[in-house]
Structure 1
């Protein structure tokens, strides 16, 4: 067990790290962060912060020396620089290696019995032409690495879209379009000993590739597919020897749950757990990586809706507080821009 008063290192400086550090402080831990130069909003709530490049071996070693355990809030942290400190990391870097490459991720999930959308690797223009012939249109071309919140993705609706695409030859994956009735996520937390707990799955609605709302109850269709999706999530967590919070996103289809992608971290669709669950995803992540008993993941509200504040000036957000059911979380980001998450509002009902 990592005793209270110890230091937790967080790789990444975004809002997930910020909320993680707040939860850690409530449990008596001190957090320090590490991230390259940027709008590192987690720095405001960390006791110390290293602003260095990921490949700065000397800075990374100095950071690790101050930490009793290290985790991350951002799945695109390069794995190579983490090798010297892998023994301090929770989860293990193998989770990052798996999730950072969409092709490897899908193959890994298939080996465990999961069902992703049909896909084909694409590296050159000829590959894309063959992929479209094989899978058909519409479809989505995605970079194998570094894409999130709709970035690194191109929707191809027809031949004109394919012909007009400026394809630079980077490693990609072409996915067939999945006809789905709803989207949902499975969020779990796992201890080193293999104890796993799940939060209720929310219905997720996206806009331009970015999560807009997560709500509970999620509805009958999602409810009927959660058990199968959870079984896959458990297999993945066990296969990775995972420690902490792990998120899998699914499409609810007439044929059952279709795996979309996984995030080896706390997740935007789990923000509702701060007010809507007995123990939030952030607190349980800290509990898991520090070897503490896990908290109850039960939903404690009759209805929940989490809405992201996207691309708007957060200074105007306080107006929502006129609603007694609203809980506002602002991330402290300096400038809004299209698609940028500036905060979120959670509305709960206990009736």
Structure 2
């Protein structure tokens, strides 16, 4: 797995139970996955020579992020490396402009490529201000996304030279995510559609299944994700981030790897997204995706302000107060606002489960 973050760390944990060994390409020995995996190679995903050396002896190559240059993936494929997802699929998760151009049959917000500020102004004349500008490549966790209120803000952003697309600001009811996995053989497995809650561009909470989502809309979202996985030839996990509006659902973004919207599956589904991704990459039959409880909530633990009692003491008190809370810490240095772990809580009542998860995450972040 290229990338040494928390996704690789949790994929490594899933690999162990399958009798597999996960090799990790990490930029630093202090990265989340590098702290726990036995086979760690230090290198950068932008270095083709490092990628070539890393891939030697591997049955398959996969990713915990979308930032490997497309040309590097194409070069590895040309040399016989089995890469999943392949470059022809992954590029649509790497480049938002290409994604929007490709998804002609999927419902998406109105959008336009940006070459100069007039593109944004003309677009806003059709949709109204504000509009959403996105960097075509490299954005994550709210980075690379801007809400533009007027032409002056648009001009300031365009002047930075960042390749952009612009989208209409849709009237959201909430955000959803549909997660599916697809094997090279073509078998597909879909998880229940979830609601994702964002704050400052960061996912802070995932509710499984999405509360109050009509069954027909849930099935439509799952079928949309399955169709996209098949049409794009995805192998591995595909997360389809969705906007729910009064007019229906719209595709926001795609991710072709384990995804924050699927962390709840470790305890909340019969097969975790991390094991499912490995099953797909290794062309194993897909695992069952049903819920293990009527209500599952995952809350991200963000780094808080320095000081207070240690994280170990916080864990001690949390487990004494709520023995059913499941905690996953990523081994990261704590910085305010940085994802350092997540908490999953299961139960019968979504309101109560959600309150427990939020309380646990807040305690781990703030120590109060």
Tell whether the structures are fold-level matches, with TM greater than 0.5.
yes
Q: Which residue of 2 aligns with 1:95?
A: 89
Moved over 4 A (4+): 158-166
Q: CA deviation at 1:192?
A: 1.3
The separation in 2 between residues aligned to 1:296 and 1:166, in whole angstroms, is 47
Give the aligned CA root-mean-square deviation in angstroms: 2.0
Structure 1 residue 135 corresponds to structure 2 residue 113? no
Work out which of the residue numbers 57, 61, 67 in structure 1 matches 2:48: 57
Contact 1:191 1:289 in 2 (8 A): yes
Counterpart residue number, 2:336: 337
Alpha-carbon distance change, 348 to 44 in structure 1, aligned in 2, over 3 angstroms = same
Deviations 1:298-340 (A, max 9, x none): 01111111000123378265143221221000000013233x2
Q: Secondary structure at the match of 1:70?
A: coil
Change (3 A) 1:71 1:164: closer
Structure 1 residue corresponding to 2:247, chosen from 252, 255, 261 = 255
Q: Which stretch of structure 1 is more off in the superposition, 245-254 or 46-55?
A: 46-55
> What's 1:45 paired with?
36
In structure 2, the residue matched to 1:27 is 18
CA contact (8 A) 2:66 2:93 kept: yes
User: Is the Cα contact below 8 Å between 2:134 and 2:164 reproduced in 1?
Assistant: yes
Paired residues, what number? 339
Conservation of the 8 A alpha-carbon contact between 1:34 and 1:52: yes
Residue 56 of structure 1 deviates from its aligned partner by 3.1
User: Contact 1:328/1:345 (CA < 8 Å) preserved in 2?
Assistant: yes
Residue 284 of structure 1 aligns to a residue in which SS?
Answer: helix
Conserved in 1, the CA contact under 8 Å of 2:117 and 2:158? no
* Separation in structure 2 between the aligned mates of residue 334 and residue 70 of structure 1, nearest angstrom: 28
Asked if 2 retains the 8 angstrom alpha-carbon contact of 1:39 and 1:334, the reply is: no
Contact 2:180 2:238 in 1 (8 A): yes
Q: Which runs of 5+ in 1 are unaligned?
A: 1-9
Q: Is the 8 A contact 2:121 2:151 kept in 1?
A: no
Shift of 1:55: 4.0
Q: 1:331 to 1:253 in 2, by over 3 A?
A: same
Aligned counterpart for 1:346 among listed residues 344, 362, 365 = 344
1:193 counterpart = 2:196: no
Question: Where does residue 323 of structure 1 map in the other structure?
Answer: 322
Does the CA contact (< 8 Å) of 1:11 and 1:73 recur in 2? Answer: yes
CA distance in 2, matches of 1:177, 1:247: 21
Deviates more, 1:150-159 or 1:276-285: 150-159
Question: Do the aligned residues in 1 keep the contact of 2:237 with 2:256 (CA within 8 Å)?
Answer: yes
SS of structure 2 residue aligned to 1:175? strand
- Measured against aligned partners, the alpha-carbon deviations of 1:149-208 in whole angstroms (never above 9, x if no partner) come to 100111123456446657313210111111121111000011111111111111111000
Matches within 5 A, 1:1-351: 10-37=1-28, 39-86=30-77, 87-110=81-104, 113-158=105-150, 161-162=153-154, 165=157, 167-221=159-213, 223-312=215-304, 315=311, 317-318=314-315, 319-321=317-319, 322-338=321-337, 340-349=338-347
